[in-house]
């Protein structure tokens, strides 16, 4: 387990960024009907971009690396929001994702595939990411590199593993710590080679998918089983697994112990991007040198705050309430054979962007 204060900046890579449009419906979504919207929010998005927005909201140094032309609406939005970024022009428009939220917080997401990235662009994006991780003159290398979200068409599913390997080859012992938050083939592909991440942030479905243990719903409902599933990833070489369990909070499993964090229910307004805010909360605490259970506490405080804010709005540290979160040690038990699914992992229905 990594430890101690880590003051380097945080770099995120978002290979498939988007302009996130959230439409607040004034009633329940009805298929085939013409409906009124109460409002619309537009934010630059994609998981790594969201993590950067959440870190920036708390004044933590962060840079978002992404493909995108200077005039692309996503890049323009980052510029006008004052979010530090390094964009790689690709000569094609980025995608826009649509989220429909109903008054009771139910959300429907429609995600587009994004522009295809050629092998040459993929290589340039990797080079730009490593360059951003070197820091600027006077600052050391980045403290963390976060690889987050889906991969656009043309990018092989093991791209994150390739980036991880290149990062560690380039920086050796001074390598930034590596966090991964993805799903489906890019998540499975990230763990294909030997460069295991220092932190993996699955939700229940992703944990089920990447371990082949139980289902997402079963893991969300049973934190001891979820911790046992996460432990199998620690045994494969992942230093820490931060598994978020929606309204049920989150758990952290490392080689040194496991903890569960819960809090009283909040009234959710939009849970889109809650997981990205959780990851940002964890990283904020970790870069301040806090203990693993305290990092977990901040992750859940951030996630709950994000869930109670509209659209993909991200909370600042001041908008979170870590005191409302209860953290308890969890005993680790091996997963019973009856919970281990056989055969290949089934694709997750919840697309990760």
Ligand X SMILES: Nc1ncnc2c1ncn2[C@@H]1O[C@H](COP(=O)(O)OP(=O)(O)OP(=O)(O)O)[C@@H](O)[C@H]1O
272 binds, among ligand X, Mg ion, none (CB under 5 to 8 A by kind): ligand X
By beta-carbon proximity to Mg ion, the closer residue of 126 and 304 is 304
How many residues touch ligand X under the rule CB under 6 A: the total is 20
Among 106, 124, 215, 271, indicate the residue that binds ligand X (CB under 6 A). 271
Kindly state the number of chain residues that form the binding site for Mg ion, as judged by CB under 5 A. Answer: 1
Q: Based on the shown chain and the rule CB under 5 A, indicate whether residue 202 belongs to the binding site for Mg ion.
A: no
User: What is the pairing mode between strands 250-254 and 144-148?
Assistant: unpaired
Q: Does residue 307 touch ligand X according to CB under 6 A?
A: yes
170, 316 Cβ separation under 8 angstroms:
no
Segment near ligand X (CB under 6 A), from 9-17, 76-84, 164-172, 268-276? 268-276
Nearer to Mg ion, 67 or 275 (CB): 275
> Minimal CB distance to ligand X: which residue?
275
In the set 141, 186, 216, 273, which binds ligand X (CB under 6 A)?
A: 273
Among 266, 324, 332, 345, binds ligand X (CB under 6 A): 266
Contact status: 245 vs ligand X (CB under 6 A): yes
End-to-end, the C-alpha distance of the chain in Å comes to 28
Q: Give, as ranges, the residues between 265 and 304 that touch Mg ion (CB under 5 A).
A: 275
Site stretch for ligand X (CB under 6 A), options 58-66, 125-133, 297-305, 334-342: 297-305
The CA distances from residue 167 to 81, 129, 171, 180, 185, in Å, are 28, 9, 6, 13, 21
For position 303 contacting ligand X by CB under 6 A, the verdict is yes
- Closest distance between ligand X and the C-beta of residue 245, in Å? 6
Using CA atoms, how far apart are residues 200 and 224, in angstroms rounded to an integer? 18
Place of tokens 């005993």: 331
Pick from 223, 228, 230: which is nearest to 246 by CA?
Answer: 223
Instruction: Kindly provide the b/e burial profile for residues 78-91, where b requires at least 16 CB atoms within 10 angstroms of the residue's own CB.
Output: beeeebebebbebe
Pick the closer one to Mg ion by CB: 126 or 284: 284
The residue (of 161 and 245) whose beta carbon lies closer to ligand X is 245
Q: How far apart are CA 107 and CA 117, in angstroms?
A: 29
Classify strands 250-254 and 326-329 as parallel, antiparallel or unpaired. Answer: unpaired
Q: How far apart (Å, rounded) are the C-alpha atoms in residues 182 and 351?
A: 9
In a 3-state reduction of DSSP, which class is residue 125?
A: helix
If one asks whether residue 274 binds ligand X (CB under 6 A), the answer comes out as yes
C-beta of 95 vs 167, nearer to ligand X: 95
Buried b (16+ CB within 10 A) or exposed e, 275-292: bbbbbbbbbbbbbeebeb
Which residues of the chain form contacts with Mg ion (CB under 5 A)?
275
- For ligand X, the binding residues (CB under 6 A) are 203, 244-247, 249-250, 266, 268, 271-276, 278, 300, 303-304, 307
């Amino acid at each position: 387990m990594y430890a101690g204060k880590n003051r380097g900046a945080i770099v995120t890579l978002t290979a498939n960024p988007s302009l996130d449009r959230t439409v607040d419906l004034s009633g329940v979504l009805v298929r085939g009907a013409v409906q009124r919207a109460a409002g619309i929010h537009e934010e630059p998005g994609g998981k790594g971009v969201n993590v950067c927005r959440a870190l920036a909201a708390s004044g933590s140094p962060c840079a978002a690396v992404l493909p995108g032309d200077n005039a692309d609406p996503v890049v323009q939005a980052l510029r006008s929001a004052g979010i530090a970024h390094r964009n790689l022009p690709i000569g094609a428009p980025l995608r826009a994702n649509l989220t429909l939220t109903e008054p009771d917080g139910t959300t429907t997401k429609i995600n587009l595939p994004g522009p295809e990235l050629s092998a040459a662009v993929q290589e340039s994006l990797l080079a730009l990411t490593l360059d951003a991780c070197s820091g600027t003159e006077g600052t050391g290398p980045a403290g963390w590199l976060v690889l987050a979200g889906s991969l656009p068409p043309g990018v092989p599913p093991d791209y994150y593993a390739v980036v991880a390997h290149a990062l560690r080859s380039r920086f050796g012992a001074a390598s930034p710590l590596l966090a991964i938050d993805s799903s489906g083939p890019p998540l499975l592909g990230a763990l294909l080679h030997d460069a295991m991440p220092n932190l993996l942030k699955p939700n229940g479905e992703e944990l089920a998918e990447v371990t082949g243990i139980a289902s997402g719903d079963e893991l969300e409902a049973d934190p001891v089983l979820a911790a046992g599933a996460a432990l199998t990833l620690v045994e494969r070489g992942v230093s820490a697994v931060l598994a978020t369990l929606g309204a049920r909070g989150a758990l952290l499993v490392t080689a040194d112990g496991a903890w569960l964090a819960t809090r009283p229910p909040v009234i959710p307004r939009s849970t889109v991007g809650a997981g990205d805010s959780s990851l940002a909360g964890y990283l904020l605490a970790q870069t301040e040198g806090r203990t693993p259970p305290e990092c977990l506490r901040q992750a859940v405080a951030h996630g709950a705050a994000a869930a109670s804010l509209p659209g993909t709005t991200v909370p600042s540290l001041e908008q979170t309430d870590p005191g409302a979160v209860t953290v308890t040690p969890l005993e680790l038990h091996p997963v019973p054979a009856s919970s281990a699914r056989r055969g290949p992992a089934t694709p997750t229905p919840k697309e990760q962007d």
